[in-house]
Amino acid sequence: MHEDATQTSKTLLGADELVLNMGPQHPSTHGVLRVKLKLDGERVRGTECVIGYLHRGVEKIAEHRTYQQFAPYVDRMDYVAAVSNGLGYCETVEKLLSAEAPPRARVIRTILTELQRIASHLLWLGTHALDIGALTPLFYCMREREEILKIFEKYCGARLTTHAFRIGGLQYEAYDLFEKDVERFCKDFERRIQEYVDLLTGNSIWIGRTRNVGVLSAEDCIALGASGPVLRASGVKWDLRKAMPYAAYDQYQFEIPVGTRGDTYDRYIVRMEEMRQSRLICLQAIENIPPGAILARVGKVLKPPPGEIYHSIESPKGILGYYIVSDGTIQPYRVRIRPPSFVNLQALDKMARGHLVSDVVAIIGTIDIVLGEVDR
Amino acid sequence: MLDKVIFFFFAGVAILSAALMVTRRNAMHSAVFLITTLLATAGIFLQLRAEFLFVAQIILYVSGIMVLFLFVIMLVRLDVALNQIQFARQKWVALIVTVTLAIQVGILLWSARKLPGDGVLFSAAPAEMLQPNTETLANSLFSAYLLPFEIASVLLLVAMVGAVVMAKKRTTLP
Amino acid sequence: MSPATQALLEFLRSWWVELLSGVVIVAIVPLVAGYVVLVERKVMADMQARLGPMRVGPHGLLQPIADALKLLIKEDIIPDNADKLIFWLAPVISMTAALTSMGAIAFGPSFQVARDINVGLLFIIGISSLGLFGIVLGGWASNSHYSIMGAIRSMAQLVSYETAAGLALISGLLLAGTLRIHGIVEAQEQYGVWFIFLAPIAFFIYVVASIAEINRAPFDLPEADSELVAGYMTEYSGFRWSLYFLGEYANMIVVASVATTLFLGGWLRPFASVRWLSWLDVLPALVTQAVGVYCLIRAGKQPVAVQTKFMWAVALACFALAAILAAPLVGPFRWRFLMRGLHGAFWFLLKVGAYIYLFMWLRFTLPRYRFDQLMGLGWYILIPLGIINIFGVGIAMILESEYGWNRWLALVVTTLVTLGAAFFLLHLNEKRKAAASSAIAVAKEAVAGDIYAG
Amino acid sequence: MVDESKASQSSDSLKPDAAGAESGPGTPQTADAPGVPTAKPVAPAKPAATKTPVPVQVPLDNELSRRYRERFGAGILDALEDRKQPYLVIDAAKLAEIGRYSRDEEKFELLEDFTAVDWPRREKRFDLIAILYSFTHNTRLRLKIPLAEGEQAASLVEIWPTANWLEREIFDLFGIVFAGHPNLRRILLPDEWQGHPLRKDYDILQQDTPWVRENLGIESGQ
């Protein structure tokens, strides 16, 4: 059943199989992922992921920090979507405390999280296109992402690991021109996204490289736990923002884009459409940001009553879940983070078999992993 | 004089690298020396003012056939070949062939009473004054030697079809 | 005087021009290649909404020199298990082949690099194809999986696409009737039209095949940086690496020159035979002058005094060039050879530049092909199309010479037929691709038993 | 700052089913593993919450739990609800059976997460936590499987392939062995690493110093 990729012959090309070690220093393994490829010529016969190069023991650290102290750590997991990580964590602890953030805070959280989703997808698009050999989209994507990061910077002073939210709401009130900035970005973005469409969507090389590559059926996705755009590209119309609304998502109209074939091209289309939907959510949200407090009264020292909670949100990569056990002290007894990248990465083997080495690169890109989150 | 120098230079390189090609244990090194031999031969063609043959030698032999050689060498297991006895039992046959060849060449040289390289006088004729040998070659191939040429083509075609048929059997996907 | 010395002197007397041009090639081409790299980075930056190199010299004009220095003083690493001899030899082969093949190129009627040999075009193609050995041997000698995969890819790719390029060239040569570089351009002068208009499909095939031949995106699979790290160059560093790099850019100039010579009218001015468009002769001087003026305008905006001075120098050089280019048009310098020589070189280089710009444009726009797609494109489309096109051009020529057809009519008819064939081939290819993807599905089914390994 | 306030008196409401030896979750590790040095002194127990906590764990008695109880009887040790999130405490011996039933009959198609919690002072030291999600009913269910030290759990890979890496992670960080797992090796830590970091008796500063010396060529990772 299980085949160990390392057991094959080590000769250069004499044997039928060649083991190619991809990473951890490789341009397109998106960090320190290491994949051992078992090849027949250039055709992939099996893969084995070696991960953990970025393991920092976040879950262990959590047991030795107070609830508030741990909040910045989650930003370092999926470091291209720090805001989403923070949202998940803060909401989970709020649930553990049986508290709730005030409406104003929830709306601002939603806006920032959706902007973060766009930023994360933009980075994904740029690097994914780069993996497939299109150099230019990366810079266009970075240009737009920069606008989002500027909004973050103006809001909380940080660009990447923002720590934008606090348990119970927000620490900072939205700055004066916040709505204006978001609106301007959203207005521009419609035009910008058309540029990526022009460069890629109809490009026959792009279609040739992504169509029927890394196909995952809906059953496979669910069995392998793959979530997020990967799941939706396989045709499952399911999104936690709709299924179990959190933050202020229940107030807004948006569509869940789905694919039909579950291949790399569908995942591309789904993510592109998700960016458009996120933009629509942002536009709806800035229309009406309710006035009021931004921080619920949760106290300075958080001592949640003993018990446990599981809460998950739809991060840009998929289901981002937090399972927190409290023993009634100021420190969590156990924090378990369900990382979408980690679980989605499991599907790599299934997706890559039978394809060529070039496709492996495309498939790693299309799963959209962030190694900080895979390894934690 | 210069022609002689050039000829002996290329001939020396060709013979030396041919000898090295035979004696190298590493197949890749042998291939490199074979390439050198072929290039040196091409150089002799150039010295004889056979520019077309020179280019044909380079395009066909060096960058066509030798590339396929390298392809094969890369795909086989060199370590196995290294452990095998290099000079097999044909030692005596090889010696006889070599001696015969040497005698033939000797007779040829003796009967012509000319050293190699003396064939063409040195002259720096501009290209326009030389008879363009592309046309000459084409004319002789398509008139005097038409039949051998066509026979060779048919043979090659047969070989090609045969190769395709043989390869086709094994191209089912894993 | 001994006969040997005499022969040497005689040799030097008749071949000094060629020897000198050899030295010039070795001395100048690296510099030119360096600046082509700079231009490429600038073009890339322009297409990607950024500035590109700006630090070394005004607008990064000295960047290539800084890069070359950096590469020269970098640590030279040879992997332990590499085959030292071949590892050392490979980049040299690559660069030598590229530089040697430049010898037969004519940059203008009076700027023949070496001698105008009567197999000129074949010589260029033959010698430049030797560069493949540099790639293959380098990839093999590095003893790394990435390198050897790059080498194998490169080998398969070059063998396929050289065939396609050769077939494309043959249709051009049919029209020219000679392999001599000068003869080819003169033939286009006599026809009164560039061969690109007589054999457009051949030109298209040559463009695609030449990109593949010099391993540039979207066909840069041998070095596909996102898959094979750097392919055959993975283990190379420092100066050896720069030799490969140099070879690649020299090759780029070579294929662009070949395309220019055979399809774009070489050093002929656009509409060379149209009398009333003679005013186009003013363009070379005007263009260089405009560049000079731009440099002057920018000079004042440079942040550092040295850079301002450098800008002034560039502007002055441009004006001097403009004056030289304008000289044949006015007064006492109206000599035909000056006109042909200078302006020919200008137009030739302009066309080569445009061709290279096309390469860059494609590189920054298109994603990379996959290996099987690349091979499919070569063997299922370009090569059959090339063969059909040769027939087409040949038939058109026969129709013209034997049956007295109008040349344009004959060519249009055969080109249309070839185009039809092209669409048919594309259609076949689509079908084949569909079959191949279902084969992958079958292959995946076959291994479905152990999908959860790893 | 204070890490020592882990002792608490809140255990019973949290986990009524656990065998009686439990004095409180997360009681400092010295009690269990006296040999392991701890970085922090053990503080005496002090009140965890100033306000009287509302009972957040209530017995669960709904259709779902009744169906499970009917089907598996003693296999379901308890059914509870914590902050409106239901969970079942089940017998480790019945894990595979209940898993299959949950997926096929109750339509919990997705194993959203699979993890463990270490309670060193309990008789059954570990809790395996399986978080199930049903696309059909849009509900979640937690399965909690108490497991003693050295006891093996049945692997869920056959039922939910996604459990593959999740179980490897649990094995890696807690040292729980899953019987029938196709490839039970460490996943986040190096294969030769000694110790299981997420156990409570593994100090936060602790590391496999010989491994670090040998493989990284440095004295210590800190």
Contact list, D164 vs chain A (CB under 8 Å): 346
Chains A+C touching (3+ CB pairs under 8 Å): yes
- Average the pLDDT over C353-376 and give the result: 86
- Residue of C450, C451, C452 best to disrupt the D interface, most CBs of D under 10 A: C452
**Which residue matches tokens 């015969």?**
B100
Sheet with A307-315: list strands edge to edge: A307-315, A318-326, A332-338
List per-residue pLDDT tens for chain D, 222 residues long. 334 344 343 333 333 343 333 334 433 333 333 333 433 443 444 444 444 445 567 777 788 888 888 888 887 888 888 888 888 888 888 888 888 888 888 888 888 888 888 888 888 888 889 898 888 888 888 888 888 888 888 888 888 888 888 888 898 888 888 888 888 888 888 888 888 888 888 888 877 777 888 878 777 766
- Residue B33 tokens read as 């020396």
Give the N- to C-terminal CA distance of chain A in Å, as an integer.
Answer: 29
At residue C116, the pLDDT reads: 67
Q: How many CB pairs under 8 A join A and D?
A: 143
- Average the pLDDT over A319-324 and give the result: 90
Query: Model-level pTM greater than 0.90?
Result: no
Contact list, A15 vs chain B (CB under 8 Å): 77
Report the run of H or E that residue C407 belongs to, with start and end.
helix C407-446
Q: What is the Cα Rg of chain A in Å?
A: 21
- Contact: B51, C119; criterion CB under 8 Å: yes
Report the run of H or E that residue A169 belongs to, with start and end.
strand A169-170
A87, D26 contact by CB (below 8 A) = no
At residue B123, the pLDDT reads: 42
The domain in which residue A220 lies consists of 58-375
- Asked if pLDDT for residue B158 goes beyond 90, the answer is yes
DSSP state of D75: G
- Asked if pLDDT for residue A8 goes beyond 50, the answer is no
pLDDT band at A306 (very low <50, low <70, confident <90, very high): confident
Phi, psi of A329 (to 5 degrees): -100, -175
- Residue A12 tokens read as 């250069």
Check whether residue A95 and residue A168 sit in a common domain.
Answer: yes
Burial B52-72 (b: 16+ CB within 10 A, else e): bbbbbbbbebbbbebbebbee
- Which residue has better confidence, C406 or A342? A342
Among chain C residues, CA nearest to B134: C119
Give alpha helix (H) positions in chain B.
2-23, 27-47, 51-56, 66-75, 78-83, 91-112, 133-142, 146-168
- Residue A347 tokens read as 């599907």
- Asked if pLDDT for residue C392 goes beyond 80, the answer is yes
Tally Cβ neighbours within 10 Å of residue B119. 12
- Residue B88 tokens read as 């097999």
C308 vs C59: CA distance, rounded Å: 11
| High-pLDDT (> 90) share of chain C, % | 0
User: Count of alpha carbons within 13 Å of C154, Cβ hemisphere only?
Assistant: 36
- Asked if pLDDT for residue C442 goes beyond 90, the answer is no
At residue C272, the pLDDT reads: 67
> Residue type at A367?
I
Least confident of B36-45, B96-105, D20-29: D20-29
Mean pLDDT, chain C, as a whole number? 80
- Contact: A306, D48; criterion CB under 8 Å: yes
Which pairing describes strands D85-90 and D139-147: parallel, antiparallel, or unpaired? parallel
The DSSP bridge partners found for residue D140 are: D133
∠ CA C48-C54-C59, nearest 5°, is: 100
pLDDT band at B116 (very low <50, low <70, confident <90, very high): low
C176, C262 contact by CB (below 8 A) = yes
At residue C335, the pLDDT reads: 65
The string of DSSP codes covering C227-293 is: TSTTGGGTT--HHHHHHHHHHHHHHHHHHHHHHHHHHS-TTPPTTTT-GGGGGGGGHHHHHHHHHHH
- Asked if pLDDT for residue C251 goes beyond 60, the answer is yes
The DSSP bridge partners found for residue D145 are: D128
Least confident of A60-64, B110-114, D43-47: D43-47
pLDDT band at B118 (very low <50, low <70, confident <90, very high): low
Report the run of H or E that residue A95 belongs to, with start and end.
helix A82-96
Residue of D39, D1, D5, D40 whose CA lies nearest to D25: D5
pLDDT band at A288 (very low <50, low <70, confident <90, very high): confident
pLDDT band at B157 (very low <50, low <70, confident <90, very high): very high
- Domain spans of chain D, in order of start: 54-187, 189-222
CATH number of this structure's domain B2-124: 1.20.120.1200
- Contact: A45, B174; criterion CB under 8 Å: yes
Burial C80-89 (b: 16+ CB within 10 A, else e): eebbeebbeb
- Average the pLDDT over A36-55 and give the result: 82
DSSP state of B132: P
B74, B80, B174 member nearest A13 (Cβ):
B74
- What is the count of structural domains for chain A? 2
Give the N- to C-terminal CA distance of chain D in Å, as an integer.
Answer: 19
| Alpha carbon separation from A6 to A3, A17, A165, C101, D190 (Å, rounded) | 9, 11, 45, 46, 16
- Asked if pLDDT for residue C451 goes beyond 60, the answer is no
- 3-class secondary structure, A373: helix
| Alpha carbon separation from A105 to A110, A293, A300, B116 (Å, rounded) | 9, 8, 18, 96
**Which residue matches tokens 């905006």?**
C301
Neighbours of chain B (3+ CB pairs under 8 A): A, C
Interchain contact A4–B (C-beta under 8 A): no
> Residue type at A177?
L
The string of DSSP codes covering C436-453 is: HHHHHHHHHHHTGGGTT-
Cα dihedral B118→B121→B124→B126 (10° resolution): -110
Contact list, C453 vs chain D (CB under 8 Å): 182-183
Distance of residue B77 Cα from the nearest chain A Cα, in angstroms = 4
- Contact: D161, C452; criterion CB under 8 Å: yes
- Average the pLDDT over C176-196 and give the result: 82
At residue A3, the pLDDT reads: 39
Per-residue pLDDT of A130-158, as tens digits, reads 888 888 888 888 888 998 999 988 888 88
- Residue of B26, B71, B75 best to disrupt the A interface, most CBs of A under 10 A: B75
- 3-class secondary structure, A269: helix
- Contact: C454, D157; criterion CB under 8 Å: no
Phi, psi of C153 (to 5 degrees): -60, -45
Interchain contact A353–C (C-beta under 8 A): yes
**Which CATH number belongs to the domain containing residue A302 in this structure?**
1.10.645.10
Provide CB contacts within 8 A for B70, sequence distance 6+: B28, B31, C133, C136, C137, C140, C155
B15, B36 contact by CB (below 8 A) = no
| High-pLDDT (> 90) share of chain B, % | 11
Interchain contact D34–A (C-beta under 8 A): no
Interchain contact B126–A (C-beta under 8 A): no
D207 vs A144: CA distance, rounded Å: 43
| Alpha carbon separation from C360 to A202, A374, B21, C354, D81 (Å, rounded) | 21, 37, 42, 10, 64
Per-residue pLDDT of A101-128, as tens digits, reads 888 888 888 999 999 999 999 999 988 8
| Sign of the four-CA dihedral C310, C314, C317, C319 | negative
- Which residue has better confidence, C97 or A39? C97
Check whether residue A332 and residue A226 sit in a common domain.
Answer: yes
D2, D135, D162 member nearest A346 (Cβ):
D162
- Asked if pLDDT for residue B119 goes beyond 60, the answer is no
At residue B154, the pLDDT reads: 93
At residue A13, the pLDDT reads: 42
Check whether residue A33 and residue A67 sit in a common domain.
Answer: no
- 3-class secondary structure, A50: strand
Calculate the CA A13 to chain-centre distance.
38
At residue B25, the pLDDT reads: 74
Structural fold of domain D54-187: Beta Polymerase; domain 2 (3.30.460)
Q: With a CB-CB cutoff of 8 Å, which residues 131-170 of chain C face chain B?
A: 132-133, 136-137, 140-141, 148, 151-152, 155-156, 158-159, 162
Tally Cβ neighbours within 10 Å of residue D195. 16
Interchain contact C453–D (C-beta under 8 A): yes
Contact list, B80 vs chain A (CB under 8 Å): 14
- Domain spans of chain B, in order of start: 2-124
A18, A200, A356 member nearest C370 (Cβ):
A356
Check whether residue A312 and residue A208 sit in a common domain.
Answer: yes
Tally Cβ neighbours within 10 Å of residue B81. 14
Neighbours of chain C (3+ CB pairs under 8 A): A, B, D
At residue C246, the pLDDT reads: 86
Check whether residue A116 and residue A138 sit in a common domain.
Answer: yes
At residue B76, the pLDDT reads: 67
Check whether residue A46 and residue A70 sit in a common domain.
Answer: no
Provide CB contacts within 8 A for D139, sequence distance 6+: D133
At which of A50, A70, A85 does a domain end? Answer: A50
Per-residue pLDDT of A222-236, as tens digits, reads 888 888 898 888 888
pLDDT band at C395 (very low <50, low <70, confident <90, very high): confident
- Asked if pLDDT for residue C147 goes beyond 80, the answer is yes
- Contact: A21, C229; criterion CB under 8 Å: no
